[in-house]
Structure 1
Amino acid sequence: MNYYVGVDVGTGSARAGLFSSDGKLYKIAVHPIEIFNPQAGFYEQCSENIWNAVCHVVKKVVDEIPSENIKGIGFCATCSLVALDETGLPVTVSPSGKDEQNIILWMDHRAEAEANFINETRHEMLRCVGGKISLEMETPKMMWLKKNLTASWSRAKLLFDLPDFLTWRATNSESRSLCSLVCKWNYKAGPDPKSNGWNLDFFERLGLSDLSDDNWKRIGIDVKAPGDPVGSGLSIKAARELNLLPGTAVGASIIDAHAGGLGMVGCSAPGISSDLTNRLGLICGTSTCHMVVSAKEIFVDGVWGPYYSAMVPGFWLNEGGQSATGKLLDHIIDTHPATQSIRNKIDKKTHVQGYLSQLLEAMAKKKNLSDVAVLTKNLHVWPDFHGNRSPLAEPSLQGMISGLSLSTDEENLATLYLATVQALTYGTKHILEVLTTAGHEINTILICGGLSQNPLFVQTQADVLGLPVLLPHQRESVLVGSAILGACAAGAFPSMHDAIQSMNGAATVVTPRKLLYEHHERKYKVFKKMVQDQKEYEKLMSN
């Protein structure tokens, strides 16, 4: 039997999965990676630490399989900026000056001023990022690097998105993925390849014209569609490090959230339309990305895209998102006084969120309420503790909580946790509204990632949005998407579309409960009023 390896480098760990061509997962491995936080808003990583973690997990999943049966490998990762010198060694991006800290992590917010400057230009290239560039993208971060660490800027002869660093490290090829370039680097791409390329005027306006030196070598000119073969496959060195054969096919990479979309967009369920363009995919982790594809260009204010062939070949992609979701729930729980006592009494197999969900059920029953959802009638949260990515595109927004008391017991934590879950879902409703107004027709929600395993979160999505939610039976959608890249590079399928149909598999349907829709509509009105209030407070304090 032939196998394919999918690799996912997330915010805090590297993972690998071993798959067959029908999407069956045979083995999975996880290894932590380092995050440096030298000062507020700065988040950095080390490319060698990440590559070593990748080698660790890949070797684990292939250790019982003959190397000749591993036909392809695909990589996905966060959209983080990697700096290397002309020999491929790390170049510091950190105020600490340490070269091992050579990655600016996606969630790093140091480049706010640079992003504001770019947005003030109102350049035509901003049309494809919802009208506003995000400080999470690579162009503002490159501007910050050039302005603040001039020696590093001079030394950095190769600048990669992290997914492309992985394929470079695996193959020695400096090619870049169309996915990363169009989504995070302001690269222009459309159905006519002759019109694709870097916009020199855009980078000149930003003081980054030197990126065009040597035919754009520093940021890439050899651009490949996700899943295209990279170089000659694994190099001799990388093959030895991964315990695979030299020449094993390597697929052009993809961003991790996009891999999640690729790994579940085609999943099937009885009674649910199979039209890929009617589906909104939620890829949930530290943050959440909202992916929807369309047959034509659809421009949506405050939502990134449309990006051509960035996820599914031949389709345009719009990408919304929330900067902190899983991380926000962790923050709410970790900072509450009742959490430690809960952890002291539950066993290691019980997750705190699971305990809180059970407590909410008991609370609702005790109060003779129709559903746990109504426990938050007078408790409201605005969830942008790390800024708003979509649809307001305002990174300076902050979190808000209305309805606090002096209580610090478990029930107080459970109610606050529920209100936060609901607030995150209202954020998705906000994104869904602008997508629909712009012309998308969405009738199904897909969810993968850590929060897909939280029944309270999933049911809340269905209830608030009033739409069925599909949960893929294969929960590791991000790894499936990465394995699809390797399978396509190895020629296992005639096309990416065939790979999607074969490897996505079936899904369970979670249906909305109409009785709760009115309750959530009222809370959603409060939700949108809260951000208006925050802006009003800011005006009052600025006078």
Structure 2
Amino acid sequence: MLPYLLGIDIGTGSTKAVALSFDGAVLASAQHHYDISSPQQGYSEQDPEMIWQAFVSCVNDVVKQLNYQPEGMGFSSAMHSLIAVDKGGKALHPMITWADTRSEAIAKNIRESAQAEELYRQTGTPIHPMSPLCKLIWLRENDNELVKKTAKFISIKEYIWYKLFNHFEVDYSIASATGLFDIKSLTWSTEACNLAGVTPAQLSEPVNTNYTRRDIDEQTAALLSIAASTPVVIGASDGCCANLGSQINDTITAALTIGTSGAVRITSKTPIYNFKAMTFNYLLNENTYVCGGAVNNGGIAVDWLIRNFLNLKDIKEDSYHLLFAAIDEVPAGSDGLLFLPYLYGDRAPIWDSQSSGAFLNVKPQHTQNHFLRAALEGICYALNDVIVTLESTANITIERLNISGGFVNSKTWVQTLADITGKKLSVIQQEDASTIGAILLTLDALFPGKTIPTTDETIITDCIPQNHDVYLRAFSKFRKVYQDLKESMHGFE
């Protein structure tokens, strides 16, 4: 029997558990999915108890597959969630997820206020409806009765942690994504809490990401099929864990992930502030920051292309093959056709929820395939915009991108991204970067100095110089066109 550590990623759409041996072998894994509810436009909610049940099932599935106990376990979790609970940890309201935009007007007012830049620099969190800061203000203004009944405002990881240990504790990483936490003093920000209308007593106790407990509630331990004395490391957020799991430990290499949305992240010893672009600065531990930016329009924009240009309503694997085969028929640069990919508004670096998609420079020679290629290029331009913003803000040059997400299976998409960014792209062959990152945090906390072998990276592509030259000229137009059209976009209802 190979000893193993259990990493668990509590995501927005599913919870996943991976058992990793000390020699780097994945011994078992489990994943359980759940739904998101949108009772009104802009709302994004989930039942936290449903996520707890998925967590229980994942742990049970792995332990039963192996039929022996883990040496320890640690957590990764989605950021920005908010749950109002009573003093016994019972949820009083559905969890509000990161994707909820009901506090959009509140975020806009804060961004335009005199205290906005100082608030951003103190908390490291972009001022956006995703942040619990804005969500709390919305609750106070729209459901004050719920606020009065609430003992604690917590995240989904804290909800699960309380069920395990009957203590309200939050790691620095999740706390640093709330908009309520001072990332330098490692305490709840007085200014942010006053703005949100909460006190530190209504929030969990902040602890480092290597914080460990060995006193699981006896009944809960039995429910999970593990010993109550199993060491559990609180871990970090999914983005920070993904950087660790993707071997991003400096500013020369960045992690680039594309799922429904997309993100670019580097690891730094100091925050990288840019108030206009609002690059995020989340804590991996007390002296390591994961800095970067997220975009809204990743895979979700590609699916829009398939549904509306190829008229394929039921998207399957073959649908993507058809899309990329069509794109391959068109040269780099789409013969001058340009696409702004802001179908769902966007976050970094423009932070404009009212932005929209737009095709420009449409000529008679442009075919459907040109529109498809231009759209894919637009998605890559938006990610490159984040990369360039990070580089200019921090005065660095990112040399390589460690990429992850389903898009790595498309040679066309990967080559386009390489050609637009001019970077070397590589993929780390691991089960799941966030889950692996949680395991590495657990290893460091429980077995200091011990390492787990990681799979060698595979370089999958370099940019094609002549294509990169084409894209450099187009990218400068891409950035200018958004600024030119911004006011007009905001004029549409």
Task: Work out whether the TM-score is over 0.5.
Answer: yes
Structure-2 separation of matches of 1:244 and 1:131 = 36
Q: Is the 8 A contact 1:234 1:248 kept in 2?
A: yes
The structural deviation recorded for 1:73 is 3.3
Q: Is the 8 A contact 1:277 1:294 kept in 2?
A: yes
Instruction: State, as a whole percentage, how many aligned pairs show the same letter.
Output: 22
1:142-541 alignment runs, 5 A limit:
142-190=136-184, 195-204=185-194, 206=195, 208=197, 211-212=198-199, 216-220=200-204, 222-229=205-212, 231-266=213-248, 276-301=250-275, 302-307=277-282, 310-311=283-284, 314-336=287-309, 338-340=311-313, 350-361=317-328, 363-364=329-330, 372-374=331-333, 376-402=334-360, 412=368, 415-438=370-393, 439-489=395-445, 491-494=446-449, 499=451, 502=452, 504-509=454-459, 510-538=461-489
1:11-26 alignment runs, 5 A limit:
11-26=12-27
Q: Secondary structure at the match of 1:251?
A: strand
The structural deviation recorded for 1:263 is 0.6
Q: Is the 8 A contact 2:271 2:289 kept in 1?
A: yes
Structure-2 separation of matches of 1:117 and 1:524 = 31
Q: Secondary structure at the match of 1:436?
A: helix
Q: Is the 8 A contact 1:449 1:475 kept in 2?
A: no
Q: Secondary structure at the match of 1:486?
A: helix
Gaps of at least 5 residues in structure 1 are 93-101, 267-274, 365-371
Q: Secondary structure at the match of 1:286?
A: coil
Give the structure 1 partner of residue 9 of structure 2. 8
Structure-1 separation of matches of 2:68 and 2:202 = 34
Structure-2 separation of matches of 1:246 and 1:406 = 70
Q: Is the 8 A contact 1:55 1:241 kept in 2?
A: yes
Match of 2:102 among 110, 113, 128: 110
Structure-1 separation of matches of 2:286 and 2:487 = 44
Deviation by residue 1:91-124 (Cα, 9 ceiling, x = unmatched): 12xxxxxxxxx11111111111111232233322
Deviation by residue 1:223-259 (Cα, 9 ceiling, x = unmatched): 2222321x33533233223222212122113222222
Q: Secondary structure at the match of 1:60?
A: helix
Structure-1 separation of matches of 2:398 and 2:178 = 25
State the AA in 2 paired with 1:106: W
Deviation by residue 1:384-421 (Cα, 9 ceiling, x = unmatched): 222221112223322223367999xxx83x55443332
State the AA in 2 paired with 1:289: A
Structure-1 separation of matches of 2:216 and 2:125 = 39
The structural deviation recorded for 1:140 is 0.1
Assess, with a 3 A threshold, how the Cα gap between structure 1 residues 484 and 539 changes in structure 2: closer, same or farther. closer
Structure-2 separation of matches of 1:353 and 1:104 = 32
Give the structure 1 partner of residue 120 of structure 2. 126
Q: Is the 8 A contact 1:130 1:300 kept in 2?
A: no
Q: Is the 8 A contact 2:297 2:379 kept in 1?
A: no
Q: Is the 8 A contact 2:126 2:280 kept in 1?
A: no
Q: Is the 8 A contact 1:387 1:397 kept in 2?
A: yes
Q: Secondary structure at the match of 1:153?
A: helix
Assess, with a 3 A threshold, how the Cα gap between structure 1 residues 436 and 5 changes in structure 2: closer, same or farther. same
Structure-2 separation of matches of 1:128 and 1:241 = 41
Give the structure 1 partner of residue 58 of structure 2. 57
Q: Secondary structure at the match of 2:264?
A: strand
How much is the aligned-residue C-alpha RMSD, in angstroms?
2.8
State the AA in 2 paired with 1:324: N
Deviation by residue 1:173-227 (Cα, 9 ceiling, x = unmatched): 211110011222331133xxxx3322223332x251xx22xxx23212x222223
Deviates more, 1:432-441 or 1:65-74: 65-74
Q: Is the 8 A contact 2:15 2:51 kept in 1?
A: yes
Q: Is the 8 A contact 2:240 2:290 kept in 1?
A: no
Structure-2 separation of matches of 1:140 and 1:60 = 37
The answer as to 2:99 corresponding to 1:74 is no
Q: How high is the TM-score relative to the length of structure 1? A: 0.82
Q: Is the 8 A contact 2:279 2:390 kept in 1?
A: no
Structure-1 separation of matches of 2:311 and 2:6 = 42
The structural deviation recorded for 1:70 is 4.1
State the AA in 2 paired with 1:53: A
State the AA in 2 paired with 1:511: D
Q: Is the 8 A contact 1:128 1:306 kept in 2?
A: no
The answer as to 2:37 corresponding to 1:86 is no
Q: Is the 8 A contact 1:484 1:503 kept in 2?
A: no
Q: Secondary structure at the match of 2:69?
A: helix
Give the structure 2 partner of residue 369 of structure 1. none
Assess, with a 3 A threshold, how the Cα gap between structure 1 residues 299 and 25 changes in structure 2: closer, same or farther. same
Q: Secondary structure at the match of 1:339?
A: coil
Structure-2 separation of matches of 1:79 and 1:115 = 14
The one of the two structures with greater contact order (alpha-carbon pairs below 8 A, sep at least 6) is 1
Structure-2 separation of matches of 1:399 and 1:78 = 27
Structure-1 separation of matches of 2:414 and 2:133 = 35
Q: Secondary structure at the match of 1:217?
A: helix
Q: Is the 8 A contact 1:129 1:303 kept in 2?
A: no
The structural deviation recorded for 1:159 is 1.4
Assess, with a 3 A threshold, how the Cα gap between structure 1 residues 313 and 199 changes in structure 2: closer, same or farther. closer
State the AA in 2 paired with 1:262: L
State the AA in 2 paired with 1:516: N
Give the structure 2 partner of residue 269 of structure 1. none
The structural deviation recorded for 1:538 is 4.5
